[in-house]
Structure 1
């Protein structure tokens, strides 16, 4: 029986253009002989269905339906392709749970937790997940550069706590650069995490639910031309992504174990992509994404392809996991 699927994309953050690209890839690759597909733009100023002629139809937020030519369309499932708020921080997940709408990403608690880097790392530490030494600031806190450097040393990273795609992140080499970096991070969020710089091989690990089981995808090594894996490196070709990663068997075993532990401990569902840096053979967690990029060039689809899962299979499985 054909299913009616709403693909949500856009969002309220600086990542909305990337999300629109991901959502359109999902729309292009899902099997239209099995699914009736509707592209839904979730934007600050409007929630609308956009047809192939770019005509817009407003969503009824009471039940997430849309009326087209006097016919009310309701959805069997929502495919979440929103990066950042409100699709990756738990807001849309909570909304869909309240109205009883199945959706492909994780639950609202898991989304809110993983979107908050500080809270995520705090929750995972008791389970043996290693992370860099860090220092936290909230907007309005006194900034004591000496205390910060004593805790994390130099160089260090200053990051917006709740932001994706490397928005609001700076690498700081000198004490005098801290204030500017903190100001940049505060433009994205009112909470900041300042972390020690870890020098080692960086990898990205995708984990999904596939055919009912937790599946760790082949690991990707990140080699950036820039000083770190920033927005330019991620989206403008200033990095090389090597799948499978050029790491030792011991490193591979350890990072797979860490990624699987994180996914299972947090009772995750849907897609996740976690970033790690190796210090020796030990992986240190940087962050976790629960609606990672889904374009043909994105890391998680690359990993799925290496595992023998093409985009139509990857996207259809996400829907089947929710509706099974």
Structure 2
């Protein structure tokens, strides 16, 4: 059996560059080397390149997405995108690969672009049965003065977050009106669009969903208990700040309801491969409040999806291999 050439795409242009590198490292270490020959391609604004084991840097030929190593042209059977943020999670890389006919592991360009935008995603999923969305206002950088009254109609406290991206950089919790301008500035430093959203008090969870051979599988949920007020970038990536419980302590009824809701969201958004939905169960009502969907969730050794795959009794290397084969088969 000849091993397939896999381009493992990592890096990107967002604040999660290093997180993406860690994800790629974990994926490469778990994939079956007899089935897959993995080339980790690092993507940054200056170049796309592969570093060989001896430290030699080889630039990607973007005309056909290939490498030339020792006078041998290497073309890829598939790409595994693990870039968080742009250009790997927002559809740009997917569109490029589509034009070249190279299969990949996750959602198509349209779904990736839509789900990267938190406000647009909420507008699409809000009619799903048993799914709720917090009151919110989408603010564009050049319109913030004209929309001020709409923001003040929301119920404080508020969450202010960049509308595109999933790194939680630039995110703030605002308790009073006078703190709003500074929070908006922080978010606008990361994005041209900002989502201002009512705070929902409750337990916070994250759950993986994957489709293999036409069947949607929901992984065991993770409950996130943070010592900070909310699960921001620091809480995500600083050891000891947050406790992650997988599988989460949920009743059979809650688990069944959650599975139905996230499967419907996955179908409605036309997702492919592996995604992760973050949500809150409201404290007083037990209602399911949608936070966001991640179509390229983190894959470092202790990230949520690997935790959930292990909790489901699945082998991580086999899981990643099935994602590759699923992409090739589409």
Compute the TM-score of the two structures, normalised by the length of structure 1. 0.97
Q: CA deviation digits over 1:200-239, x for unaligned, max 9?
A: 1111010011354110000111100101011111110210
In the alignment, which residue of structure 2 is the partner of 1:45?
46
Q: CA deviation digits over 1:247-273, x for unaligned, max 9?
A: 222222221111110111222111100
In the alignment, which residue of structure 2 is the partner of 1:28?
29
Contact preservation (8 Å) 1:163, 1:188: no
Distance 1:132 1:25 in 2: 35
Distance 1:154 1:323 in 2: 47
In the alignment, which residue of structure 1 is the partner of 2:105?
104
In the alignment, which residue of structure 2 is the partner of 1:208?
210
SS where residue 112 of structure 1 aligns? helix
Shift of 1:147: 3.5
Distance 1:54 1:240 in 2: 38
Distance 2:55 2:265 in 1: 40
From 252, 275, 279, the counterpart of 1:276: 279
Please provide the CA RMSD for this pair: 1.2
Contact preservation (8 Å) 2:9, 2:40: yes
In the alignment, which residue of structure 1 is the partner of 2:141?
139
In the alignment, which residue of structure 1 is the partner of 2:120?
119
Distance 1:199 1:53 in 2: 52
Distance 2:221 2:144 in 1: 40
In the alignment, which residue of structure 2 is the partner of 1:78?
79
Contact preservation (8 Å) 1:145, 1:178: no
Question: CA 1:209–1:54 in structure 2 vs 1: closer, same or farther (change >3 Å)?
Answer: farther
2:307 is equivalent to residue 302 of structure 1: yes
In the alignment, which residue of structure 2 is the partner of 1:63?
64
In the alignment, which residue of structure 2 is the partner of 1:222?
224
Shift of 1:14: 1.0
Aligned length: 323
Distance 2:92 2:75 in 1: 20
In the alignment, which residue of structure 2 is the partner of 1:170?
172
Distance 1:100 1:140 in 2: 38
Distance 2:19 2:132 in 1: 30
Question: CA 1:69–1:183 in structure 2 vs 1: closer, same or farther (change >3 Å)?
Answer: same
Shift of 1:190: 0.5
Shift of 1:126: 2.9
Distance 2:13 2:106 in 1: 18
Contact preservation (8 Å) 2:87, 2:93: yes
2:268 is equivalent to residue 239 of structure 1: no
- More RCO (CA 8 Å, sep 6+): 2
Question: CA 1:35–1:142 in structure 2 vs 1: closer, same or farther (change >3 Å)?
Answer: closer
Q: CA deviation digits over 1:16-69, x for unaligned, max 9?
A: 111011011111111111111101011110000121233210001011001011
Distance 1:211 1:218 in 2: 20
In the alignment, which residue of structure 1 is the partner of 2:263?
260
**Which consecutive residues of structure 1, in runs of 5 or more, have no partner in the other structure?**
none
**Which consecutive residues of structure 2, in runs of 5 or more, have no partner in the other structure?**
none
Contact preservation (8 Å) 2:137, 2:150: no
Q: Tell me which moved more, 261-270 or 102-111.
A: 261-270
Contact preservation (8 Å) 2:128, 2:261: no
Contact preservation (8 Å) 1:26, 1:315: yes
Q: Tell me which moved more, 120-129 or 139-148.
A: 139-148
In the alignment, which residue of structure 1 is the partner of 2:197?
195
Distance 2:152 2:309 in 1: 40
Q: Tell me which moved more, 50-59 or 8-17.
A: 50-59
Contact preservation (8 Å) 1:207, 1:271: yes
SS where residue 33 of structure 1 aligns? coil
